[in-house]
Structure 1
Amino acid sequence: MTDHRHVTTDRLVLTAPVPGDLPELHRLHADPRAYRHWPHGRHTTPEQTARLVAGYTDSWDRYGLGAWVVRAADDGRLVGMGGCSVRGGVGWNLYYRLDPAEWGRGYAQEVVAVARAAAGEVRPDLPVLAYLLEVNEGSRRTAERTGLTRVWRGPDAGNPDPGAVRLVYADRAVDDRVLAAFTEV
């Protein structure tokens, strides 16, 4: 099996996170622009970012795949973070969060394509799902442009905004057990 901890594309270098990445990853996850659609999810402490990274590190250790630190191949600048990690033991959770300065360049679609291919190699039996807020038009477009289909629309359980609506996109039909792992708190 391929080691997916270090992947390159023509434009990007994707690596499993290491402790030295935490300061940059915290700046990304603390940036209010990166959380404009989900402001209460923005990280306010480095410890929050460390917990996020620890979860992805656990996915790397358990499943051989998690979220990558995404850097530009030409100069090494942080583009964002993205990849797939197993959620609830029933599906790959597709994650992508890019530096707002990098939006609109197709990087999210590039990361999603690599993540879907890696997930298909590591555990092809698990569906790949993107879980996003309906108001996040960019995230929705990314999911759709990369071939995912909407399989669920409903209230965002646990969101302080009672009117928030979540969408779930998937690479195949999914059953109620999979949807529950992605839509219930």
Structure 2
Amino acid sequence: MSDHQITTDGSWVPDACTLPTAERPVRLAEFDQLFRDALRGVERPSAQHLRLRLDGTPQVEETARDLTARESSVMRSRDLGAEELVTARLALRRPTPADIDLIHALHSDPRACAHNPSDMLSTRAEAEDRYQRWDEHWQRWGFGYGVVHAGGLRLGFCGVKVMALRRREVLNLFYRLDPAAWGDGIASEAATAVVGWAAARGPGCPVIARVRPGNTGSQRVAVRAGLHRAEHLDSHGEDGLDWIFTSHWP
């Protein structure tokens, strides 16, 4: 990487900018693997900047984007309980009444709800009711589903809510974006930030994602966010069988 001496004891990094201790060896191993396999050159434009040249293959690009998004969410995230979570490209903020139209627009779009038709809304009054339920969760727990902002646009929603699975309290991970925002890693970046926040806030509480078997895109997002398949927890929801992905399970 560089022949310049650097501080490795972490003393220069604020506490809010470090991974939980148990996760650090795994993240270091992921970066080491990427650099061993794909690093082709190093430049130092200034004392504060290091430019790494990697292989330009799609797999390397996907891996680098994923690691960067996860690292950025740790380095820059604020407490979701303070109503904002910031990543490299996104800001997740508590919904307000001004977001009711977005709730209605997104949940009346058959493409956005193709795998979960029971989430569809017909009227703005239904959107107002859904917003009210989301807001009540925020009032009770201090966190909940957030609006995904990027470049001055509102792209959809991502966050967690408290629910029960197999008589155990869990945090249900939810992400739903405007189809126009699909395919750019936005859902993965937002979900990764939320899962990271949840792990830091309460590591004993599992984060779960309920995904329909045919929704391969949502399954990829869950895995990229750090969840893994838990077939023994699969259950039937309002739209049929839900595949369960979880951060951990006792």
CA RMSD, Structure 1 to Structure 2 (Å): 2.0
Structure 2 counterpart of 1:180: none
> Which runs of no fewer than 5 residues in structure 2 stay unpaired?
1-77
Map 1:21-170 onto structure 2 (within 5 A). Answer: 21-72=99-150, 74=151, 76-88=152-164, 90-152=169-231, 154=234, 156-159=236-239, 164-170=240-246
Report if aligned partners of 2:230, 2:246 keep a CA contact under 8 Å in 1: yes
Q: Distance in 2 between matches of 1:130 and 1:106?
A: 17
Deviations 1:116-173 (A, max 9, x none): 12222333321100011111111011111222111136452443xxxx3210100002
Q: Which has the higher contact order (CA 8 A, sep 6+)?
A: 1
How far did 1:24 drift?
1.8
Report if aligned partners of 2:195, 2:226 keep a CA contact under 8 Å in 1: no
Deviations 1:34-70 (A, max 9, x none): 0112234311122322232222222222222101011
Report if aligned partners of 2:192, 2:226 keep a CA contact under 8 Å in 1: no
Deviations 1:63-104 (A, max 9, x none): 2210101111x2x11211011111137010000000000001
Q: Distance in 2 between matches of 1:158 and 1:7?
A: 30
Structure 2 counterpart of 1:6: 84
Q: Distance in 1 between matches of 2:227 and 2:170?
A: 14
Q: Tell me the percent identity.
A: 33
- Where has structure 1 moved over 6 Å in runs of 4 or more? none
When residues 7 and 145 of structure 1 are mapped into structure 2, their CA distance, relative to the original with a 3 A threshold, is closer
Report if aligned partners of 1:92, 1:127 keep a CA contact under 8 Å in 2: yes
The count of aligned residue pairs is: 168
Q: Secondary structure at the match of 2:158?
A: strand
When residues 124 and 158 of structure 1 are mapped into structure 2, their CA distance, relative to the original with a 3 A threshold, is same
Q: Given the two structures, how large is their TM-score scaled by the length of structure 2?
A: 0.62
Q: Distance in 1 between matches of 2:141 and 2:234?
A: 29
Report if aligned partners of 2:138, 2:144 keep a CA contact under 8 Å in 1: yes
